[in-house]
Amino acid sequence: MNRILFEGRLLVSMAASVARQDDLRPLHGKLDWERMFRIADYNRIADLIYVAVLGNEKVPQQWRDRFFERYQESLRFGDICTEGEQEFLALLESREIPALIVGSSSRRLLYEMPEMAGVCSLCLYMNTENYVLAKGYLIDLGYETDRAYGVYGERLRRPDGFSVELYDGIPYKTPFYHKQLSRLLDRGETAAPYTHIRILSPSDRLIWLFAQAAYLYATDQLLVRHLMDLCVLHRSLAETPEMERIWQRLKGLKIGSLCEKLLGLGYMWFGTKEERAVSPSQDELEVYDVIENRILGYGKEYPETMPEALALTGSILKAEERENRHARRKLLYRRFRDDCNELYSLFRKKDQQDSLK
């Protein structure tokens, strides 16, 4: 586990140096580049690592090639995603199908170099009826489902790599989270030049990213790329009056302190020299160590200490237990119904046989 943490921290340092365009530190010691690639790919920063290892003979050629593949994908993605998004949104508009954009390629514009943003999906929310129609149109356009998000939605991908995520439900299980974020989605603004397509404002988009990051952290699914995206969007809004409202909303979601720490770690990793100049206290450093270890160590062997994270995890576990109880009741009811139908069929068959005697 210590080795995984060491390699994770090294990869974050390399990705941060590329993002800040700092001088890269030389690599020392023997590294497991197969595992390094898998960790970087899982955290969606493999494209940045390619720039860091470019020309480094200590990295085996086969793994430099794998990093290069991810870098090429990121380079190609700019034109592919713009064309794909415009095509599908225009189709929805022409069919008068309402949809809310929660995530798109616009995030690439927040990075100093768009190719550093990696690849992403067009993420849309809509009601169940429109979800079925939209999925049908995607299939007609050559998309195929490559990932399902339980009962909430799915991701459909085109052969060239562009993908669309469709949701007809908010993928967060706690009732309180679901209620508050439903209100957030209801505030979507009309996305010009469309009339049936809406989009979250930048400030509401930041609230959504914070809420997503907190939930993913509580379920040990938070990636390094999530914190990168969070930092670049926060940086674009940090000096605006909207930030006070954003923090109030996060406190209302009972994740304010957790979000502050996640953002703080993101800036410790990817911030500019000025943003990293503020030295945290010893107590804060211990909290950051726990958060970093849980992200890079996949949540294993590193007990959580933050009250808000513990409370959110507890709420999620309770919601999952309710789901499991409901699923068990449905299963028992289905079995009982099947048994009753079978008994009914047997008695009816016996009655028919008796009537023939």
- The Cβ-side half-sphere exposure at 2, using a 13 Å CA radius, reads 0
Q: Which 3 state secondary structure label does DSSP give 345?
A: helix
Question: According to the model, what pLDDT value does residue 165 have?
Answer: 96
Mean pLDDT of 9-37: 87
Question: According to the model, what pLDDT value does residue 273 have?
Answer: 81
Rounded to whole angstroms, how far apart are CA atoms 201 and 314? 31
The model's pLDDT over 271-330, given as tens digits with 9 standing for 90+, comes to 888 887 676 777 788 888 899 999 998 766 677 888 999 999 999 999 888 877 766 776
Render 291-317 in DSSP notation, one character per residue: HHHHHHTTT-S-----HHHHHHHHHHH
Q: How many domains does the chain have?
A: 1
Domain annotation covers residue 308: yes
Least confident of 9-23, 50-64, 336-350: 336-350
Domain annotation covers residue 263: yes
Domain annotation covers residue 160: no
- For the chain, what percent of residues have pLDDT higher than 90? 59
Any idea what the Cα angle at residue 103 is, between residues 99 and 109, rounded to 5°? 130
- Residue 3: which pLDDT band, with cuts at 50, 70 and 90? confident
Rounded to whole angstroms, how far apart are CA atoms 69 and 60? 15
Question: According to the model, what pLDDT value does residue 168 have?
Answer: 93
Quick one: which H or E segment has residue 68?
Answer: helix 61-94
Domain annotation covers residue 10: no
**Cβ atoms within 10 Å of 336's Cβ, excluding its own:** 10
Domain annotation covers residue 154: no
Question: According to the model, what pLDDT value does residue 284 have?
Answer: 81
Whole-structure pTM value: 0.88
Domain annotation covers residue 100: no
Question: According to the model, what pLDDT value does residue 344 have?
Answer: 66
Rounded to whole angstroms, how far apart are CA atoms 108 and 78? 8
Domain annotation covers residue 238: yes
The model's pLDDT over 204-262, given as tens digits with 9 standing for 90+, comes to 999 999 999 999 999 999 999 999 999 999 999 999 999 999 999 999 999 999 999 99
Under 8 Å CB-to-CB from 273, ≥6 apart: which residues?
Answer: none
Least confident of 41-50, 52-61, 99-108: 52-61
Question: According to the model, what pLDDT value does residue 336 have?
Answer: 66
SS3 content of the chain, % helix, strand, coil (to 5): 65, 10, 30
Domain annotation covers residue 300: yes
The residue segments making up the domain with residue 252 are: 201-329
* Site of tokens 């990075």: 111
75 close to 115: Cβ distance less than 8 angstroms? yes
283 residue type, one letter: D
